[in-house]
Amino acid sequence: HKCSSILDTTSKEAIGKPAKVQGWVRALRKMKDTVFVDISDGSTCEMLQVVVPKMIKPDDLRYGSSISVKGELFLAPNGKTELRATEVHVIGACNVFEDGYPFAPRKIYDPEYIRQYLHLRPRTRSFSTLLRLRDLATTMITDHLRDRGFLSVHTPMLTSNDCEGAGEVFLVKPQSKEILKNMKKEGQSEDEIYFDTTAFLAVSGQLHLEAVARALTKVYTFGPTFRAENSKSRLHLSEFYMLEVEIAFITRIEELMEEVELLVKQVIERIIEKGASDLHSINALEPQWLNKTFVCLTYEDAFNVLNNHANRLQQPIKYGEALSKEHELFLVEHNDGVPVFVINWPKVIKPFYMKECIDDVSKVAALDLLVPDVGELVGGSMREDNYEKLELKLPSTGNLSWYLDLRKYGNVPTGGFGLGFDRFLQCVLGISNIKDTVPFPRWPHNCNL
Ligand code: 4AD
Ligand code: MG
């Protein structure tokens, strides 16, 4: 008996062959002489029907148990494969009703209920499907970028810069009093002892990515990012995954917008193509805007739209300020639910590294991409590549002389963007709360599990 995943058993070649399958019991139906058991193992959203003769049914074959089955694969009358068992072992029993297992057979729970049991959440059908789609989306993003000639770069998680300058960094220092005592130098603060500088968890890998782009031209980094925001919203996490792309030799924000639009559309198309059955099983709908050209508004345009509709907003817009979530969603709705780029933002509300617009120095060549239900999905900009201008704007803290140095040797213009991966999944899969896109979400007061 060759050990097969449930996905393997769904292929035509598997029929008529002996197989050994391992998984978790999702449903049981007791008949006169047999028990029908549906099992899953994560390899597909499909369950395998196992036919167990009553004679060989172990006592603790119950919903939730992990089992190992040997038998032969047949084509069932419904056209699906079924495993006719000759041997069944319960590996780990599960006493749903006595032991407090939080899920019962054939019940559908809402995401808030399931979220209370993060460690058992992957056992639910909906969340295991989410995890498969999250894996697929990761691969489709890297495939797309490789096809476009980008190289993956691992930027550090430990860093001395607060790239976005928003003060939302998590501080990192050793716990050991012993280490602190032995490494302490004269006059040093405790936060600087280990690295000789204050260290943070990265809020963005952009600055390091810019260094690499000035040698490898087209690069990206895709990994966890940390922000100590005091937000419990359905769109914020303390630890989220961000895809950051940086491109050398581009000079116009339009080139950046093209790259973003292509990425978003093509990755979604690939997910739809390869993830059809999983998408179907969670009733995800294809975005209505896939074949539409994204809208592009300047900040001024966006301001005017919002200002002209002030009576329809709870919070009116003030010129020069960032957009609220309500403003973002209004702009998308106002454009028939097609994603909207907002470009050319007031300089004072954006980070130091953004390049000024050529025709208006009060603005920077930055873009935000706003999408239905989520709002801001992507943030990016052209980078200030002029040494003198950058020097004036460089934050005094954070040891960024190396970043300035990049503009000294073989300098080129670059631009790039960051896409919030968890928000991307919300958008593609129609998931209302970002905490339901990540296996173990972190948000204020929630890092226990
Ligand atoms: O707009 P942000 O802050 O841009 C940057 O960090 C740039 N350095 C990126 C770059 O140009 N390389 O963040 C980018 C995206 C946002 O548009 C949003 O989708 C997501 O990251 N994001 C969050 N997602 C979940 N939880 C949070 N707390 C997030 N903060 C930002
Ligand atoms: Mg942003």
115-138 tens-digit pLDDT: 999 999 999 999 999 999 999 999
State whether 312 and 362 are in the same domain.
Answer: yes
Which residues in the chain come in under a pLDDT of 70?
A: none
State whether 28 and 149 are in the same domain.
Answer: no
**Domain containing 130: what range?**
125-168+203-436
C-alpha–C-alpha distance, residues 69 and 369, integer Å: 50
C-alpha–C-alpha distance, residues 178 and 272, integer Å: 54
CA atoms in the 13 A half-sphere facing the CB of 220 = 25
Asked whether residue 443 is assigned to any structural domain, the reply reads no
Q: Measuring from each residue's beta carbon to the nearest atom of ligand 1, which residues come in under 6 Å?
A: 163-164, 204, 206, 227, 229, 236-237, 240, 242, 244, 376-380, 416-418, 420, 422-423
| β-pair type (199-201, 360-371) | unpaired
**Given this model, what pLDDT does residue 23 score?**
98
Based on the structure, what is the number of domains in the chain?
Answer: 2
State whether 305 and 415 are in the same domain.
Answer: yes
Answer for the pair 46, 14: CB distance below 8 angstroms, yes or no.
no
**Given this model, what pLDDT does residue 76 score?**
93
State whether 12 and 135 are in the same domain.
Answer: no
Asked whether residue 415 is assigned to any structural domain, the reply reads yes
Assigned token pair, 37: 């058991």
Asked whether residue 150 is assigned to any structural domain, the reply reads yes
Question: Residue 166 CA: which ligand 1 atom is closest?
Answer: 3
**Given this model, what pLDDT does residue 344 score?**
98
| β-pair type (18-30, 2-4) | parallel
**Given this model, what pLDDT does residue 184 score?**
86
Gap from CA of 314 to ligand 2 centroid (Å): 22
Question: Residue 418 CA: which ligand 1 atom is closest?
Answer: 9
CA atoms in the 13 A half-sphere facing the CB of 397 = 14
CATH of the domain at 396: 3.30.930.10
State whether 23 and 155 are in the same domain.
Answer: no
State whether 55 and 158 are in the same domain.
Answer: no
State whether 154 and 284 are in the same domain.
Answer: yes
**CB-based contacts of 265, cutoff 8 Å, min separation 6:** 290
Radius of gyration of the chain measured on its C-alpha atoms? 26
Instruction: State the ligand closest to the CA atom of 378.
Output: 1
**Given this model, what pLDDT does residue 303 score?**
98
State whether 223 and 74 are in the same domain.
Answer: no
CATH of the domain at 16: 2.40.50.140
Asked whether residue 442 is assigned to any structural domain, the reply reads no
Asked whether residue 178 is assigned to any structural domain, the reply reads no
State whether 432 and 366 are in the same domain.
Answer: yes
Assigned token pair, 198: 């204050």
Gap from CA of 293 to ligand 1 centroid (Å): 23
Asked whether residue 448 is assigned to any structural domain, the reply reads no
Q: How many helices, marked H, and strands, marked E, lie in the chain?
A: 13, 18
**CB-based contacts of 46, cutoff 8 Å, min separation 6:** 6, 7, 10, 40, 80, 277
Helix axes 253-274, 421-429, angle to 10 degrees: 50
Closest residue by Cα to residue 435 from 422, 424, 448, 419: 422
Three-state DSSP state, 126? helix
Q: How far is CA 372 from CA 302, 425, 435, in A?
A: 16, 12, 18
Asked whether residue 430 is assigned to any structural domain, the reply reads yes
The residue nearest atom 23 of ligand 1, judged by CA position, is 420
Asked whether residue 224 is assigned to any structural domain, the reply reads yes
Answer for the pair 342, 298: CB distance below 8 angstroms, yes or no.
yes
Domain boundary among 106, 134, 160: 106
State the residue for tokens 């639009």: 261
Assigned token pair, 267: 């990755």
ipTM here = 0.99
Residue 95: alpha-carbon gap to chain centroid = 34
Question: Residue 237 CA: which ligand 1 atom is closest?
Answer: 26
Q: How far apart are the first and last CA of the chain?
A: 38
State whether 257 and 297 are in the same domain.
Answer: yes
State whether 138 and 212 are in the same domain.
Answer: yes
**Given this model, what pLDDT does residue 1 score?**
79
State whether 156 and 83 are in the same domain.
Answer: no
